[in-house]
Copies of this chain bind each other. A is one copy, B any other.
Amino acid sequence: MDQIQIFTDYLRQQGLKNTSQRMVILEVFLNSNLHYSTEELYLKLRKSHPRIGYATVHRTLKLLAECGLASELNFGDGQTRYEPCRGGQHHDHLVCTRCGKIIEFVEPRIEKLQEEVAERYGFKIMSHRHELYGLCSDCSVASES
């Protein structure tokens, strides 16, 4: 089942309506590989769809997160970001604090160990965040003075 179907099904099931704005926002969001903040996505959308308001973008991103099509990220810059969940492999992030670059990583051994930690405390993990902050390779070189 594709993502548009997932979204329309979710809307129906919740008694919500399928609007053109919601479809446009979903489409633009899915066709990106970025980690958009609400503001950034709003600005991008405004170029092709100038009538869409900031509040609608915000509300739609929240809906997408609710139905599992987006995940909320927070890299400590004071803005919530969203990325498409493509149902693929889970990943975590390396965040360059100098240039802002975001690198995605997959490390099943860490995922496994964190489950082990949870068990140790009888804790049931629903979600997690694992972010490594520092300098990307470009920025490490650039900062050697």
Contact = CB atoms under 8 A, between A and B. Distances in A.
Nearest to A108: B113
Interface in A96-119: 96-97, 103, 105, 107, 109-110, 113-114, 116-118
Interface stretch (A24-32, A55-63, A126-134): A126-134
Interface size class on chain A is 20 to 34
B114 A113 contact: no
A127 B121 contact: no
Interface string A71-104: 0001010000000000000000010110000010
Contact of A113 (B74, B94, B109, B136): B109
A134 B125 contact: yes
A109 B94 CA distance: 18
B110 A135 contact: no
B113 A140 contact: no
A122 interface: yes
A97 B127 CA distance: 10
Contacts of A103: 121, 123
A124 to B, nearest CB: 5
Contact of A94 (B74, B96, B121, B135): B121
**5 closest A-B pairs (Cβ-Cβ)?**
A122-B137, A126-B134, A125-B134, A124-B135, A130-B130
